[in-house]
Structure 1
Amino acid sequence: MTTTTPTTEGTWQRRFGDSIMKSLSTPKVMLERGEGCQVWDVEGKRYLDFLAGIAVNALGHAHPVLVEAVSKQAATLIHVSNYFATPSQVELAERLKAISGAGEQGRVYYGNSGAEANEAAFKLLRLNKGPDGTKTRILALQSSFHGRTMGALALTGKPALREPFEPMLPGVEHIDTTIEALEHSIDDRVAGIIIEPIKGEAGVVDLPEGFLQAARELTAKHGALLILDEIQTGIGRTGTWFSFQQFGIVPDAITVAKGIAGGIPIGALVTFGDTSDLFEAGQHGSTFGGNPFATSAANAVLGEIESAGLVENARVRGEQIRAAITAIASPHVKEVRGRGLLIGVGLHEPIANEISARCLEAGLIVNAANDSSIRIAPPLIVGDSEIAEFTEIFTSVLKGLA
């Protein structure tokens, strides 16, 4: 069988539609290379990447530290299965325990994605049955997103995503994102609750003030687990290693993925304290989870984030971008949300898709998280020149709207 390099938009889009499952819509652009905060399509057009693969490319594209790490590991050892340990597997677990504050009692389970990490979290919640087995209720939030595999989908608070695949796994209840709903819902029958510190897929929506603290207090009171989905908010993106570290609480577990390895697939469940004792040998596993290729990449990415001061850069640059958007004073912009380099632009009208399309045409990649929200999540390496270019394009697009 021979293949040909796509040379025109019509050619590659036709081939995509003829070959890729219909669960994915045909994209508008085919990208073929990247460097730093820039990518180029197959026609040679350059784009400023302010989405980073949906908060994945923490070091941008083709970062020399990551390139060297994966090249070296690929030439050494890629996969051995979980019948064997590898140095990078243990090193990464120790790193995750350290930066999360999980400490000596903390433990790490590896998967290959955020959805897999949340599947492990679902099982962890099921194991917290209590001594009499009556803890059978699992809570999640309305409009939340935790993944598209069946367990993660059951946790996801978006009925439109769940309905085609019902019946869902039983026992999950979705509640409003209010302290009153927490107080009404959490009792001694609750095994736990899973929460995104910022609702990314809902449009980068911040939780109400005091919400996480109330969730921690109530879950501790009733012997329920507090699990935080840090898949989009973690690994420095919100200006601390993990978003929960800004709220003065300690969860029972967190799930991590996206930026952890800069684009190499990996996910993790990190447990704290006695929660680490819930899983027993053989109760969960993954053939590819924690392989030396992915864990070496993650160690390189975490090391570079630390040595280059990128957690602080995310905080500072995030403030800079939010200030720049606010200064545009567009009548279309209702509010600017989020923390660090996870930013949501709330709009007065359902024009997010139009804005995203116009930005793409102008050479800027952002994302319409929903009809009235733009999501901005550039690489953690973003600097003054990239922010200046973003501001110029975004201003032009907003001012060009009717």
Structure 2
Amino acid sequence: MKDDFFKYQAQTTPHPLALEIAHAKGSYIYDTEGNAHLDFVAGVSACCLGHCHPKVVQAIKSQTNKYMHVMVYGEYVQEPAVAYTKLLASHLPKNLETTYLVNSGTEAIEGALKLARRYTGRSELIAANNAYHGNTMGSLSVTGYEARKSAFRPLIPDVRFIQFNSLSDLEKITKKTAAVLLETIQGGAGFILPKNDYLKEVRRRCNEMGALLILDEIQPGFGRTGKLFAFEHFDITPDILVVGKGMASGLPVGAFIASHKMMATLQEHPKLGHITTFGGNPVIAAASLATLKEVTESQLITYTLEKEQLFRSLLVHPLIKEVRGKGLMLALLFEKVEIANYLVLEAAKKRLILFWLLFEPKAVRISPPLTISEEEIKIGCMQIVYLLNAYQ
């Protein structure tokens, strides 16, 4: 199977990890030789309820027995999508009442950027250096990392960049600005949190200039930071919220959310201002609904902060210079790239799944399922400390 993988399936890097998967359950992924691998990555934050959560699996099976795809998005009334978007609105501020369901986080970013330009009548977009918002052309245009973009230029025009957490840079937001797009917590840059009321100051400046604030919560959303959405930690509300990843417990999905008034501008002039064939797919909507119910009706969000403290108490080592992030969105920062590479690759040999971050090569990601047990955390952290001791 591995030979066919390399021959027939397009690769994203010259050296993928190439673990051959048989099945997955809970906090473990099982290879074709029957070995269990403890998953500290959760599909890069996507499998928030672990692998094959029974309530999500049952929701998927139940919906597939009724109907799957029946019509392009927005034409037919389909119960899973209606029930999901209504429940989601009940957990959000009043101005975030209408959800456009799409297929991925990057498509959700595309929709949000189009909506901002359409609603404001302005074209300028402002994003942050070292931001990551996806890999389609629009999302790539607002990604603040030139090494990832240069091979694909020209990208969409009228995009400017500011430094995350720099208050002086907010002067670049003007009456020409359609929207400011920020990750609530910068992911690819190394799980960097906003400091010194930064997001409040961005919100204030946007209000002054009539610009929209778009927050990208594709990664920190759905309980990962100890709140349903990370912006709740910072006492602000965006005009447009972008979500994805953990939204459907591992199925491909994304959404952008705004006021009903704002979203209505995509209906006319032109009609079909944004359109998708498979967005709002009933099977994925059913999985999203089951996920949201489980996250909000259980104690998982509360336990997330307790589990963060357990990780922090166990991951103490001279080679670990900092543990960044919030909740179960954590990154170990080292002085050298070599240490991060060593840890990910050696942990894989010990059947512990860790991973890198996009733009911070000295960091190692820890983003396990929210359902991970304290015992599993202790087992994985013990392995990390053992490997770091061996490096010395």
Which TM-score applies when normalising by structure 1? 0.92
* Corresponding position of 1:298: 288
Matched, 1:376 2:366: yes
Alpha-carbon shift at residue 277 of structure 1 (Å)? 4.1
Query: 5 Å matches for 1:22-101?
Result: 22-25=11-14, 26-81=16-71, 82=73, 83-101=75-93
Provide the aligned length of Structure 1 versus Structure 2: 383
Residue aligned with 2:274, SS: coil
CA contact (8 A) 2:184 2:215 kept: yes
- Specify the code of the residue in structure 1 equivalent to 2:160: E
Give distance in 2, aligned partners of 1:365 and 1:154: 31
User: 16, 19, 22: which one pairs with 2:8?
Assistant: 19
Alpha-carbon shift at residue 248 of structure 1 (Å)? 0.5
Give distance in 2, aligned partners of 1:179 and 1:100: 28
Matched, 1:307 2:297: yes
Give distance in 2, aligned partners of 1:60 and 1:50: 10
* Corresponding position of 2:341: 353
- Specify the code of the residue in structure 1 equivalent to 2:34: G
User: 309, 313, 318: which one pairs with 1:331?
Assistant: 318
Alpha-carbon RMSD across the aligned residues, in angstroms, is: 1.5
* Corresponding position of 1:264: 251
Alpha-carbon shift at residue 274 of structure 1 (Å)? 4.8
CA contact (8 A) 2:108 2:242 kept: yes
Unaligned segments of structure 2, at least 5 residues: none
Residue aligned with 2:90, SS: helix
Deviations 1:275-323 (A, max 9, x none): 3444224111110000111100100111111222211121221222122
Matched, 1:152 2:142: no
Residue aligned with 2:91, SS: helix
Deviations 1:144-203 (A, max 9, x none): 000001111111111111111100011111211233344321111111111001111122
CA contact (8 A) 1:177 1:208 kept: no
CA contact (8 A) 1:318 1:339 kept: yes
User: 170, 176, 185: which one pairs with 1:183?
Assistant: 170
Mean CA deviation greater in 143-152 or 74-83: 74-83
* Corresponding position of 1:3: none
Residue aligned with 1:47, SS: strand
CA contact (8 A) 1:108 1:268 kept: yes
Which TM-score applies when normalising by structure 2? 0.94
CA contact (8 A) 2:102 2:280 kept: yes
CA contact (8 A) 1:106 1:276 kept: no
User: 347, 351, 364: which one pairs with 2:352?
Assistant: 364
Mean CA deviation greater in 90-99 or 268-277: 268-277
CA contact (8 A) 2:167 2:201 kept: no
Determine what percentage of the aligned residue pairs are the same residue.
32
CA contact (8 A) 1:51 1:366 kept: yes
Matched, 1:129 2:120: yes
- Specify the code of the residue in structure 1 equivalent to 2:149: R
CA contact (8 A) 2:331 2:363 kept: yes
Unaligned segments of structure 1, at least 5 residues: 1-5, 7-11
* Corresponding position of 1:109: 100
Alpha-carbon shift at residue 84 of structure 1 (Å)? 1.0
